[in-house]
Structure 1
Amino acid sequence: MLTFPRWKVLMIFGVILYGILTALPNFLTADERAELPGFLPSKTLSLGLDLQGGVHLLWGAETNDVIKARLDNLIDQVVSIRRTEHGLNFQNIHIDGRSVVFNVTRDEMVEKAREKLLPITKASTVAGGNIMQAGVQEVELSHDGRKFKLTLTDQGIEVQKREAVARAIEVMRKRVDPDGTKEITIQPQGSDRIVLEVPGASDPQKIIDIVGKTAKLTFHDVVTNASPEDIARGRVMPGTKVLPMKDGGQIVVKNRVIVSGDDLTDAKAAFDRYGRPAVAFSFNTAGALKFGNHTKNNIGRPFAIVLDNQVISAPVIQSPILGGQGQITGIGTAADAQELATLLKAGALPVPLTVMEQQTVGPTLGADAIAAGKKASVIGFTLVVAYMLLTYGGFGVAANIALITNVVLILGALSLFQATLTLPGIAGVVLTIGMAVDANVLIFERMREEQSNGRKPFDAMAQGYGQAFSTIVDANITTFIAAVLLYLLGSGPVQGFAVTLGIGILTSMFTAVLQTRLILATWLTRRRPAKLPI
């Protein structure tokens, strides 16, 4: 327990040195950071909206499109029933207001039609905020003779709008904060508005551009026999459409979607075989099957990759693509590839969003509150350091060195991830500092017990670390699991607290168990005291 091979000593010093280098940019000006060598870290920690201000945006969700989509879905269900039920035929299917209206062709089929259509109106269980609402009937069925009507209820319309806004919020969160480290605040306001606050941001338009993109990805067959004159006049065959090319010009594609972005499971920035920026994507099982069958049956033919009604690439199929993976090339810069990958991975927005209000805001806590927080942190840290010195003497010095290192490593890790620090994040840092001290207290008290039981200094120290180690690991693992769950299930400030807590647990384990043990073991080996001064 008290012997350290050379590689372990180098590893400990390497981690500490890297932590210092990653934390250092926070204490430099922007000009000084710009002069740092390229191989040194230059990223800094950002303060949250409550500490330094940021961007506040109010979005309006055009939820009427969701109602139209729901009515189209009802039409598809009616058509499906007509196709699968022998002898049951519907005609004149159309939308009237918020209803789907159609006629049964024969009187004797009216009752059967009612029986087959009733399941569509079955009440569903939906989430209302954090409360599950049972028995919400979204669709009502009525008929007058052979004329049937499926009507969206007020509750059904509200459910569709609320669910669309909830999906839009998740897509926005993944686009603006894909790593969950910026501690953004995003929440619904009413049934069709969304509030987004991004701490540390100064350019509202950049956020608007990221969020506002629809990012609807589809793959289509290309029509190769359309003449340039027909394309220019928009004179194309039914079931096809003219779309603009990203690099200029126009192309005719079939309306039928081969496979869509809904089937994507992953997208990430990459480079093609010529070293040009690209986006590598992967489909789920269903998407891979559709994509594989199409490429297998259409070798030598082009297919169009369409993003937001613009053809970004139209490659010729050289061979079957059966693995469910592919690349989108011709994107532009590496930054463009990264942005497109983020958008595709987050998914398409379920509803169009428009900016209703935008502003750059100052810190909500104010300078006095921030100064008071800094003062309290310094006082608390000083008291902890003093307590460890008075209680454990020279051993307290080792613990305080590890405590300072722990703070530096946390700051460096948060800077490396470019996390945004808010009050909940500070709470996570303070909690881990307390846990780091607690680990050293457990170890030192165990040493005292072993020494009072008659053990020699080497044995007392070895037993102190050995016996306390399992307790420390158990406590930190349970807390780390809680941090992981908070990160996975929480959002915004909760995720920020979880990130700082998780990083702090790892760094405190490193400093309390490895660093202090190295310091004390080195001291014990060189001094060889008759009794531990603890």
Structure 2
Amino acid sequence: MKTKVRSSVLFLLSFAIIVFLAFAGFKGFVFGWGENQWQFKSFDQTITKGLDLQGGVSVLMEIQSDKVSKNDLEKTKELLALRVNKVGVAETVVTTEGEKRIRIDIPGKYDSKSIVDTLSKTGELKFLDPDKNVILTGKDVKEATTGVEQQTGQPIVSLELTDEGKKKFADATTKLVGQSIAITMDEEQLTNPVVREPIIDGKAQISGSTSIEEAKKLAGVINSGALPVPVKTASVKTVGAQLGANALPNAMKAAAIGIGIIFLFMIIYYRIPGFLACIALTLYISLVLYTFVSVGATLTLPGIAGFLLTIGMAVDANVLIFERIREELRAGKSAKASIQSGSHNALSSILDSNLTTIIAALILYYLGSGPVKGFALTLLIGVIISMFTAIIITRLFVNLAVNMGILNKPSLFGVKRG
């Protein structure tokens, strides 16, 4: 009796948690009253959408140099990302393709000409006094690093200047104590620190960053100074707002229909175990989408295709387990013994099929680019989580149902004896 009550409580609690996670993710909610309100945003608001879902511009830049080091490629990528973000573009996705190309996907922006002009600039870093006179340029900075101020715990950027820059800066800071020195890139101001005392040793600290990430970005711009190598626009692709606006609702409608058919099949064919599998699949879908939010994955149409494919694989794992359990029941074993041996026998097949898919996804991710990478990442995340929900969660629910006394007959698994 105690086992039955304990299993019932655990099942209902698990069911309530899964329903809450799904509702919160798909609908969102507001907690609190008045000024103390806190909003839990839905997946639609938090998951970054690719160009094919919301429109925008995709620019492919190619480095015009015979030999390109990995360091130069990464520096160029970082500086191009900072340039685009400086003009107020949110959720920009910047990735390298091959050894010489960098792709910049800019959702929600359609003025491709101004974006290409911004990206193609050679870049000029300047340190300016209050009268806009140039004190230093990027060539005068030897290195910029990030750190934390020991006394205040605030993030800082530490500068080390060249010998020539050291002398220029010493003269300027001696005259500008109490005044600000603006640091600009392509005439856009990055920061405007105040000189507290003369800096004569060529080493300075810039405070005022609100986070270590902001300090790292500032250090990255200062280190790069200008693009380390010349770049040229290889291609520009514009996706209209209307196409993006139509793509997402259609994709979501197709996904809902497909998932609904899968749930219906599982319940009709496997009955109570099928219903339990649907609960586990609901948790699986929620966990995958929460993972997308946490890792900052960009969802694209190929990504949605990969996601739906992993749902099919998650269902396949449940089908393998249930069919093995049916075989054991037909052999005359009890429900509890059939679940244990059937789950164990299906494990090797589930692992084999999922591991081969994981290997394929890893190859696609590291060798592919653009939409292929999005598909591979979605597939990889989905397969890993599907193994967890199929092997652990579905089995847990089935065992709880047996202990509760609602799944102790072969007929409840769709098996008829004699």
Alignment of 1:377-388 (within 5 A): 377-388=255-266
TM-score for both structures, normalised by structure 2:
0.64
Q: Is the 8 A contact 2:314 2:386 kept in 1?
A: yes
User: Which letter maps to 2:408?
Assistant: P
Q: Is the 8 A contact 1:183 1:493 kept in 2?
A: no
The structural deviation recorded for 1:9 is 8.7
Q: 2:339 & 2:68 partners in 1: Cα distance?
A: 64
Q: Secondary structure at the match of 1:435?
A: helix
Question: Cα–Cα, structure 1 residues 387 and 212, in superposed 2: closer, same or farther, change >3 Å?
Answer: same
Deviation string, structure 1 residues 258-310 (Cα, Å, up to 9, x no partner): x657xxxxx778665413233599xxxxxxxxx9xx9xxxxxx99x9x99799
Q: 1:343 & 1:505 partners in 2: Cα distance?
A: 38
Q: 2:24 & 2:314 partners in 1: Cα distance?
A: 21
Question: Cα–Cα, structure 1 residues 481 and 24, in superposed 2: closer, same or farther, change >3 Å?
Answer: same
Deviation string, structure 1 residues 5-64 (Cα, Å, up to 9, x no partner): 9xx999978985885477246x679xx9x9895585676113221221023557697x5x
Q: 1:456 & 1:210 partners in 2: Cα distance?
A: 71
Q: 1:10 & 1:280 partners in 2: Cα distance?
A: 56
Q: 2:204 & 2:331 partners in 1: Cα distance?
A: 68
Matched, 1:511 2:397: no
Deviates more, 1:485-494 or 1:307-316: 307-316
The structural deviation recorded for 1:395 is 0.8
Q: Is the 8 A contact 1:182 1:420 kept in 2?
A: no
User: Which letter maps to 2:207?
Assistant: G
Q: Could you tell me which residue of structure 2 aligns to residue 520 of structure 1?
A: 398
The structural deviation recorded for 1:491 is 2.6
Question: Cα–Cα, structure 1 residues 413 and 490, in superposed 2: closer, same or farther, change >3 Å?
Answer: same
Q: Could you tell me which residue of structure 2 aligns to residue 495 of structure 1?
A: 373
Matched, 1:479 2:357: yes
Alignment of 1:360-509 (within 5 A): 361-363=239-241, 365=243, 372-509=250-387
The structural deviation recorded for 1:336 is 3.4
Q: Is the 8 A contact 1:173 1:186 kept in 2?
A: no
Q: Secondary structure at the match of 1:455?
A: coil
User: Which letter maps to 1:420?
Assistant: T
The structural deviation recorded for 1:316 is 7.7
Question: Cα–Cα, structure 1 residues 358 and 402, in superposed 2: closer, same or farther, change >3 Å?
Answer: same
Match of 2:207 among 317, 326, 330: 330
Deviates more, 1:494-503 or 1:35-44: 35-44
Q: 2:243 & 2:49 partners in 1: Cα distance?
A: 12
Question: Cα–Cα, structure 1 residues 375 and 486, in superposed 2: closer, same or farther, change >3 Å?
Answer: same
Q: Could you tell me which residue of structure 2 aligns to residue 143 of structure 1?
A: none
Alignment of 1:130-141 (within 5 A): none
Question: Cα–Cα, structure 1 residues 20 and 377, in superposed 2: closer, same or farther, change >3 Å?
Answer: closer
Deviation string, structure 1 residues 469-500 (Cα, Å, up to 9, x no partner): 23323432332233333333333222211221
Q: 2:312 & 2:410 partners in 1: Cα distance?
A: 28
User: Which letter maps to 2:210?
Assistant: T
Matched, 1:48 2:53: no
The structural deviation recorded for 1:453 is 2.1
User: Which letter maps to 2:412?
Assistant: P
Question: Cα–Cα, structure 1 residues 348 and 10, in superposed 2: closer, same or farther, change >3 Å?
Answer: farther
Question: Cα–Cα, structure 1 residues 350 and 39, in superposed 2: closer, same or farther, change >3 Å?
Answer: same
Alignment of 1:31-430 (within 5 A): 37-38=37-38, 40=40, 44-57=46-59, 159=66, 170-171=77-78, 196-200=104-108, 244=128, 273-278=151-156, 329-330=206-207, 332-334=209-211, 336-340=214-218, 349-351=227-229, 361-363=239-241, 365=243, 372-430=250-308
User: Which letter maps to 1:198?
Assistant: I
Deviates more, 1:375-384 or 1:348-357: 348-357
Q: 1:339 & 1:515 partners in 2: Cα distance?
A: 42
Q: Secondary structure at the match of 1:533?
A: helix
User: Which letter maps to 2:328?
Assistant: E
* Bigger helix share: 2
Question: Cα–Cα, structure 1 residues 455 and 207, in superposed 2: closer, same or farther, change >3 Å?
Answer: farther
Deviation string, structure 1 residues 406-455 (Cα, Å, up to 9, x no partner): 22222222233343211110111011101110110111111111222222
Q: Could you tell me which residue of structure 1 aligns to residue 410 of structure 2?
A: 531
Q: 1:521 & 1:529 partners in 2: Cα distance?
A: 10
Q: Is the 8 A contact 1:12 1:514 kept in 2?
A: no
Question: Cα–Cα, structure 1 residues 329 and 252, in superposed 2: closer, same or farther, change >3 Å?
Answer: closer
Q: Is the 8 A contact 2:18 2:282 kept in 1?
A: no
Choose 1 or 2 for highest CA Rg.
1
Identity of aligned residues (%): 34
TM-score for both structures, normalised by structure 1:
0.52
The structural deviation recorded for 1:209 is 11
Question: Cα–Cα, structure 1 residues 36 and 498, in superposed 2: closer, same or farther, change >3 Å?
Answer: farther
Q: Is the 8 A contact 1:49 1:364 kept in 2?
A: no
Q: 1:348 & 1:480 partners in 2: Cα distance?
A: 40
Match of 2:25 among 23, 26, 34: 23
Residue correspondences, number:
371
Q: Is the 8 A contact 1:184 1:197 kept in 2?
A: yes
Q: Is the 8 A contact 1:185 1:493 kept in 2?
A: no
Question: Cα–Cα, structure 1 residues 452 and 492, in superposed 2: closer, same or farther, change >3 Å?
Answer: same
Q: 1:208 & 1:509 partners in 2: Cα distance?
A: 44
Q: 1:377 & 1:52 partners in 2: Cα distance?
A: 18
Q: Secondary structure at the match of 1:278?
A: strand
User: Which letter maps to 1:531?
Assistant: P
Deviation string, structure 1 residues 215-259 (Cα, Å, up to 9, x no partner): 899xxxxxxxxxxxxxxxxxxxxxxxx965799987689x898x6
Question: Cα–Cα, structure 1 residues 249 and 374, in superposed 2: closer, same or farther, change >3 Å?
Answer: closer
Unaligned runs of 5+ in 1: 67-158, 218-241, 262-266, 282-290, 295-300, 319-325
Q: Is the 8 A contact 1:55 1:202 kept in 2?
A: yes
Q: Could you tell me which residue of structure 1 aligns to residue 176 of structure 2?
A: none
Q: Is the 8 A contact 1:45 1:415 kept in 2?
A: yes
User: Which letter maps to 2:209?
Assistant: G
Q: 2:311 & 2:354 partners in 1: Cα distance?
A: 12
